Every structure is written in structure tokens, then in C-alpha cells.
């Protein structure tokens, strides 16, 4: 049994490429001459291939290790695109004008609104109304007080009586 174990370990050393010199020549010569030894070496090859195939594949490197170097180039590209597309009209150098221009626009709109819609008080103003022949004067003294004068009675030929005579 001792010689069989030595023979197996020597064959494994031959298979793994660990033999040198005279021992390598000796095992090469024996493999050419002995078909049983060649079959044993083929079995050892198949076992070795099976073991290599059953080992798990190495895990890929972490994703961050592959992305981190690329992020710097992406950041540089984005910064370059932003520099190329930014208009000098809207750059930060012109931003100091934003506040005065917006305030001026609001003031102009407010003045336009106030001047186009006067909110004059009607208090103390006498208005004259003509309602189908009745002459009426209206005086608004305050929000609570209004004075109304009917100045004359309708005449017989007025437009309001014409409808009633028919």
C-alpha cells in the first residue's frame, strides 16, 4: 500500500507540474509505456476539471469601485456642457439687476392701475339724472346719507306718458 500511495502522490505532482529533472523524465517515460497509468492520469485530469468547475466564480468587484473613477469624468462633462450652454445675459453678473427691474415693473403696473381706475369719492357731488321725463338730482353726502330731489312732474307729452295714452 505504501508504494501505491507514493505512486498516487507522484502522479499528482506530475499532473500539477511540480516534478523537475530526472523525476519528470522518469514519469513521462512510464506514462508512455503504461496504459493503466495514463488512464489514472486522465481520471485525475477529469477530477481536477470537475473541482475547478464546482468552485464558485469570483464575485465581481464592488460597484462603487467601478463607478467612482467614472463620476469625476461625468462631473467634468456636465460642467463643460453647463459652461457652453449658459447665456451671458443670464449669468450671475446680471443678477444684481433683477431686483431693481422687478420693483420698477411693479411700480409701473400699480401706477397704471391707479391712474386708469380713479377711486374718487362721490361725496358732495351733485349728479343729474333724466328718467323718462322726470328730472332728478342726487347728492351723496356720505356713505350713509343721500339726498334726492325730483325737480318737476312729468309733462303730458313726455315719452313716459306716451305709452300710457295709447
How far apart are the C-alpha atoms of 9 and 108, rounded to whole Å?
Answer: 101
Say if CB 113 and CB 102 are below 8 A apart: no
Tell me which of 5-14, 32-41, 151-160 is least confident.
151-160
What pLDDT score was predicted for residue 166? Answer: 37
Least Cα distance to 151 among 139, 165, 163 occurs for 139
Predicted TM-score of the model (pTM)? 0.32
Angle of CA points 61, 64, 68, to nearest 5° = 120
Find where cell 477530477 sits.
Answer: 47
Q: For the chain, how big is the Rg over CA atoms in Å? A: 56
Amino acid at each position: 500500500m505504501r508504494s501505491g500511495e507514493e505512486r498516487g502522490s507522484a502522479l499528482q505532482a506530475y499532473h500539477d507540474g511540480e516534478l523537475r529533472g530526472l523525476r519528470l523524465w522518469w514519469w513521462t517515460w512510464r506514462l508512455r509505456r503504461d496504459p493503466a497509468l495514463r488512464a489514472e492520469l486522465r481520471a485525475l485530469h477529469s477530477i481536477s476539471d470537475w473541482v475547478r468547475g464546482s468552485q464558485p466564480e469570483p464575485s465581481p468587484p464592488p460597484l462603487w469601485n467601478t463607478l467612482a473613477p467614472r463620476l469625476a469624468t461625468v462631473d467634468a462633462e456636465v460642467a463643460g456642457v453647463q459652461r457652453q450652454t449658459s447665456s451671458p445675459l443670464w449669468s450671475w453678473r446680471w443678477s444684481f439687476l433683477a431686483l431693481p427691474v422687478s420693483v420698477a415693473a411693479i411700480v409701473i403696473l400699480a401706477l397704471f392701475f391707479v391712474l386708469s381706475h380713479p377711486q374718487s369719492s362721490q361725496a358732495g357731488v351733485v349728479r343729474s339724472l333724466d328718467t323718462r321725463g322726470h328730472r332728478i338730482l342726487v347728492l351723496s353726502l356720505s356713505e350713509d346719507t343721500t339726498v334726492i330731489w325730483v325737480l318737476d312732474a312729468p309733462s303730458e307729452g313726455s315719452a313716459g306718458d306716451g305709452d300710457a295714452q295709447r
